[in-house]
A and B are shown apart, each in its own frame.
Chain A
Amino acid sequence: MNFLKKHGYKLIGSLLVLYTLFVGLLTPLKPGITFLSTNSIDQGQYLNVMINGYNTHFKSASDNRAWLKIDSVYAVEALKLTPISETEIMAYFLLPNFAPDSAKILPLGVLMDNSIDGHFERPSAIFYKQNSHYIQQGRTLWTQWPMNNLHTNTSFNFPYRNILQESIRNTYYHVPMWFAMIALFFYSMILSIRFIRSNDEALMIKSVALIKVGFIFGVAGLLTGALWAKYTWGQYWSFDVKQNMSAIALMIYGSLLVLRNSITDPHQANKISAAYNIFAFAALIPLIFIIPRLTDSLHPGNGGNPAFGSGDLENTMRMVFYPAVLCWILVGLWMAEITNRLDKISQKMTLFLHNK
Chain B
Amino acid sequence: MNSLLNQIYYLLAKDFKVEWRNKYGIASLILYVLSSIFIIYIGLIQLDPRIWNALYWILMLFAAISTIVKNPSQESQARALYEYTLYSPYAVILSRYIYHAVWLIILGMMTMFILSILTIQPIRNFGQFILLLCLASASLSTIFTFVGFLGQKTNNPSTIIAILGFPLTIPIFLTILKISAQSMGMLHDTSVINDWMILSSIWIILAAISIILFPYLWRE
Which residues of A are in contact with B by a Cβ distance under 8 Å? Answer: 196, 245, 248, 251-252, 255-256, 258-259, 262-264, 268, 271-272, 275-276, 278-280, 282-283, 285-287, 290-291, 294
Contact with A along B127-159 (1 / 0, CB 8 A): 000000000000000000010001001111000
From B219, which residue of chain A is reached at the shortest CB distance?
A: A271
Contact of B164 among A255, A278, A286 (CB under 8 A): A255
Q: B171 touching A245 by the CB < 8 A rule?
A: yes
Which chain B residues in 178-220 approach chain A with CB under 8 Å? 191, 194-195, 198, 201-202, 205-206, 209-210, 213, 216-217, 220
From B150, which residue of chain A is reached at the shortest CB distance?
A: A272
- Nearest chain B CB to A283's CB is how many angstroms away? 5
Q: A272 touching B167 by the CB < 8 A rule?
A: no
Given contacts A251-B167, A286-B201, contact A278 B213 (CB under 8 A): yes
From B151, which residue of chain A is reached at the shortest CB distance?
A: A259
- Nearest chain A CB to B210's CB is how many angstroms away? 7
Q: A294 touching B156 by the CB < 8 A rule?
A: no
Q: Is B31 an interface residue (CB 8 A)?
A: no
Contact of A279 among B160, B201, B209, B220 (CB under 8 A): B209
- Nearest chain A CB to B45's CB is how many angstroms away? 30
What does DSSP make chain A's interface, helix, strand, loop or mixed? helix
Contact of B213 among A262, A275, A283, A290 (CB under 8 A): A275
A245 to B175, CA, bound (A): 13
Q: Is B80 an interface residue (CB 8 A)?
A: no
Q: Is B120 an interface residue (CB 8 A)?
A: no
Given contacts A245-B171, A283-B206, A291-B174, contact A272 B198 (CB under 8 A): no
A252 to B191, CA, bound (A): 28
Residues in B whose Cβ lies below 8 Å from that of A248? 167, 170-171
State the 4 A-B residue pairs at the shortest beta-carbon distance, nearest first. A251-B167, A252-B167, A255-B163, A275-B213
Q: A262 touching B146 by the CB < 8 A rule?
A: no
Q: A294 touching B198 by the CB < 8 A rule?
A: yes
Q: Is B110 an interface residue (CB 8 A)?
A: no
A258 to B151, CA, bound (A): 12
Which residues of B are in contact with A by a Cβ distance under 8 Å? Answer: 146, 150, 153-156, 160, 163-164, 166-168, 170-171, 174-175, 191, 194-195, 198, 201-202, 205-206, 209-210, 213, 216-217, 220
A278 to B211, CA, bound (A): 12
Residues in B whose Cβ lies below 8 Å from that of A263? 153-155
- Nearest chain B CB to A295's CB is how many angstroms away? 8
A255 to B151, CA, bound (A): 12
A271 to B175, CA, bound (A): 31
Contact of B168 among A245, A259, A283, A290 (CB under 8 A): A283
Contact of B198 among A259, A262, A279, A286 (CB under 8 A): A286
Contact of A282 among B160, B195, B205, B220 (CB under 8 A): B205
- Nearest chain B CB to A160's CB is how many angstroms away? 36
Residues in A whose Cβ lies below 8 Å from that of B213? 196, 275, 278-279
Contact of B171 among A264, A275, A278, A286 (CB under 8 A): A286
A245 to B217, CA, bound (A): 28
A60 to B164, CA, bound (A): 64
A276 to B153, CA, bound (A): 13
- Nearest chain A CB to B90's CB is how many angstroms away? 16
Residues in A whose Cβ lies below 8 Å from that of B171? 245, 248, 283, 286-287, 291
> Can you give 23 contacting A-B residue pairs, CB < 8 Å?
A255-B164, A255-B167, A258-B163, A262-B156, A263-B153, A264-B155, A268-B220, A271-B217, A272-B150, A275-B150, A276-B150, A276-B164, A278-B209, A278-B213, A279-B209, A282-B205, A282-B206, A283-B205, A283-B206, A286-B201, A286-B205, A290-B198, A294-B194
A256 to B151, CA, bound (A): 11
Residues in A whose Cβ lies below 8 Å from that of B175? 291
Q: A262 touching B155 by the CB < 8 A rule?
A: yes
Q: A262 touching B160 by the CB < 8 A rule?
A: yes
From A199, which residue of chain B is reached at the shortest CB distance?
A: B216
Residue from B150, B163, B166, B167 with most neighbouring chain A CB atoms (10 Å): B167
Beyond the given A264-B155, A279-B168, A279-B213, could you list 19 further A-B residue pairs with CB under 8 A, ordered by the A residue number? A252-B168, A255-B167, A259-B150, A262-B154, A262-B155, A268-B220, A271-B217, A272-B154, A275-B213, A275-B216, A279-B146, A279-B209, A282-B209, A283-B171, A291-B171, A291-B175, A291-B198, A294-B194, A294-B195
Residues in B whose Cβ lies below 8 Å from that of A278? 209, 213
From B217, which residue of chain A is reached at the shortest CB distance?
A: A275
